[in-house]
Amino acid sequence: MEHVDLLKIYRQMYRSRMFEEHVVQIWNDGLITGEMHCGIGEEAINAGIVTQLVDGDALALDHRGTSPSIIRGVDPKKLLWEFMGQQEGICSGNGGHMHIFSKSHLLASSGIVGSSGPAAAGFALAAQHLRPGKIAVAFFGEGAVNEGMLMESFNFASVLKLPVLFICKDNGIAITTFSSEVTAGKLTDRAKAFDMPALELDGTDVEIVWQAANEAISKARSGEGPSFILAKCKHFQGHFLGDPLLRIVRKPIKELRKITPGLVRSTTRFSGASLNERIGSLKDVLSLIARTAKERFSDKDDPLSLLRKKLGNETKEIEKIEQDVNHEMDNVVKEVLKVYLENNQE
């Protein structure tokens, strides 16, 4: 097995985090419109895999494609312009953050749940015929594994022994529903049913992710077919920016004042579901809020914090990396905002 350079990986994880934190601020300032799904909390999964890819490998991404795109080497200025709907963006401002495409990086993302599976299978089929030794990677959430097109992709990839990795990022919540309540069985068992190696791991520990991905990538490059990795993680910005659960956690008095009357009416009305069912639903809502609060205010599962602890003796190197990246991202934002203001002068 190859040696993992944790400092190199930390740089990429920190670049991803800092870029997305700037995106959060710009969205809050109203300069990015519509939904924004951040990958803050997924950095160990993205960096542990994408840093091992080479030219000619392909990436099929989901609606959280920003982090792996940054790590893959896409120009952050072009991404930010894209999010802001500017002509200078990587897709001329037409794709937004969910539909990113870069031919030079063999990278494509889509907001259609589960679509990264067929896209990656197509990339892998092309690689098998045109670029032997190259691979494709699909990123998706646990909810996508309930989509038929993803199951078809598993089958297609396994039958043809395509060089593809299927990476499931499992945060346990499908927007505001616990995934365990809508998904039967173990997702690794589903992958194994298609005769694929399947592994569940801690997606917050980049070293564990890197080692598992390294083995799966080696198998794919040597013609041994696809693999499935289920990586547990958390989304520290919720499902999307402005997530209602996070709004309640951040401003409980203001937000609870809005929803409490409706909750009381639905619980105490005479018609409808039984009282026990209504109380059960209310408990579910409170449980979601409590879980969100716990994740929001704890860095126990923050992949960057965990890696800093592993690199405990590398304090000076870490500080230098963070200074360089902060300087880089500050300059990116300044240039992007300058062009944005020029383009939108009245």
Give 84-104 pLDDT, tens digit per residue. 999 999 999 999 999 999 999
Number of domains forming the structure of the chain: 2
* Whole-prediction pTM: 0.91
Element (H, E) at 140: strand 136-141
Same domain, 131 and 278: no
Say whether both 306 and 291 belong to one domain.
no
**pLDDT the model gives residue 244:** 81
Q: Are 275 and 314 part of one and the same domain?
A: no
Q: Please determine, for residue 264, whether its predicted confidence score (pLDDT) is greater than 90.
A: no
Tell me: do 170 and 307 sit in the same domain: yes
In this structure, the answer to whether residues 92 and 111 fall within a common structural domain is: yes
- On whether residue 252 sits in a domain, the answer given is yes
96 within domain boundaries? yes
Q: Are residues 112 and 148 in the same domain?
A: yes
Structural domain span for residue 131: 6-236+302-343
- Is residue 255's pLDDT more than 70? yes
Q: Out of 260, 281, 296, pick the residue that ends a domain.
A: 296
Three-state SS at 29: coil
Burial class (CB in 10 A: 0-12, 13-18, 19+), 283: exposed
Residue 167 sits in a domain whose CATH number is: 3.40.50.970
Domain presence at residue 98: yes
Say what the pLDDT of residue 1 is.
54
Q: Are residues 24 and 38 in the same domain?
A: yes
Q: How confident is the model at residue 298 (pLDDT cuts 50, 70, 90)?
A: low
On whether both 162 and 227 belong to a single domain, the answer is yes
What's the confidence (pLDDT) of residue 2?
72
